[in-house]
Amino acid sequence: MLRRALAPLAALVALLLSFGLVAAPASAHDSLIASTPSDGETLTAAPTELTLSYSAEIAQIGADVVVTDPAGTVVSQPLTVAGTDVVVPLAADLAPGAYAIAWRVTSSDGHPIDGTLTFTLDVPAVASPTAEPTAEPTTEPTAEPSTSASETATEVESESASAEATETETAPAEDDATSNLPPWVLVVVALAVVGAIVALIARMRRDRAAGQGPHNR
């Protein structure tokens, strides 16, 4: 009698336990259900943040998300957990190329879960500003004195000095030549000059007398 009464109760307990055993594993499998950008997406504009959405609320402790650019540089900032979402700000001026996302969070049942995602940024590369060349001061060449003009002036001065020296040397030479003549030569020259003068005077007188003759007759 008692065994018959306990049989339905045992069946109920077994049924409840079976539901509990099934629900427990199900609750342990929190998972990532969406992301922005989505896994494998190609973007034509640089995103400012990454959002990961999970099937249940995520614990603040143990949450970690790292985003790296094509060069392997970390571009993710400190994250924020808001219920089922994890929001990760990204650095500005993201370079074009493939980005990798590695995430690890603690699910609602206390078990850590992790995974990886990727997205591609297809935008023109940001050109770095180039410094404008500064104008270099120009130095005007200074006028150099003409070599030919200097040489010409030097030659003229040399010729003038040579001519003066020649004249100075010639004058004493002539004086020396005159002073070196014998005295008798000077006497002969003087007599010749006096004789020429006397002959000229006598001739003039004869001519004058000849011209006055007919008038006296």
Chain segment 184-208, per-residue pLDDT in tens: 778 888 888 888 898 889 888 888 8
Q: Pull the structure tokens for residue 30.
A: 């929190």
Q: Pull the structure tokens for residue 162.
A: 């040579």
Residue 147 lies in a domain: no
SS3 134: coil
Could you tell me if 59 and 106 are in contact, meaning their C-beta atoms sit under 8 angstroms apart? yes
Alpha carbon 58 to its chain's center = 54
For the segment 112-140, the average pLDDT, to the nearest whole number, is: 78
Report whether pLDDT(159) > 80.
Answer: no
Could you tell me if 54 and 105 are in contact, meaning their C-beta atoms sit under 8 angstroms apart? yes
Could you tell me if 65 and 103 are in contact, meaning their C-beta atoms sit under 8 angstroms apart? yes
pLDDT number for residue 76:
97
Q: Which residue has the higher pLDDT, 21 or 121?
A: 121
> Total domain count for the chain?
1
Residue 156 lies in a domain: no
Residue 148 lies in a domain: no
| Cβ neighbours around 175 below 10 Å, total | 10
| Cβ neighbours around 37 below 10 Å, total | 19
Residue 154 lies in a domain: no
pLDDT number for residue 125:
75
Q: Cα–Cα distance between 162 and 168 in angstroms, integer? A: 10
Confidence of residue 135 (pLDDT cuts 50, 70, 90): low
Q: Which residue has the higher pLDDT, 128 or 123?
A: 123
Residue 7 lies in a domain: no
Report whether pLDDT(9) > 60.
Answer: no
SS3 187: helix
Q: 68: domain CATH number? A: 2.60.40.1220
Pairing verdict, β 59-68 and 97-106: antiparallel
Average per-residue pLDDT for the chain? 78
Could you tell me if 47 and 35 are in contact, meaning their C-beta atoms sit under 8 angstroms apart? no
Residue 85 lies in a domain: yes
The answer for residues whose C-beta is within 8 angstroms of residue 127's C-beta and 6 or more apart is none
Q: Pull the structure tokens for residue 6.
A: 């306990």
Range of the domain at 114: 31-121
Report whether pLDDT(1) > 60.
Answer: no
Confidence of residue 24 (pLDDT cuts 50, 70, 90): very low
Q: Pull the structure tokens for residue 148.
A: 């030919």
Q: Cα–Cα distance between 100 and 120 in angstroms, integer? A: 9
| Structure confidence by residue, pLDDT tens digits, 30-83 | 899 999 999 999 999 999 999 999 999 999 899 999 999 999 999 999 999 999
The answer for residues whose C-beta is within 8 angstroms of residue 204's C-beta and 6 or more apart is none
SS3 36: strand
pLDDT number for residue 113:
95
Residue 117 lies in a domain: yes
Residue 191 lies in a domain: no
Q: Which helix (H) or strand (E) holds 85?
A: strand 85-89
For the segment 153-160, the average pLDDT, to the nearest whole number, is: 58
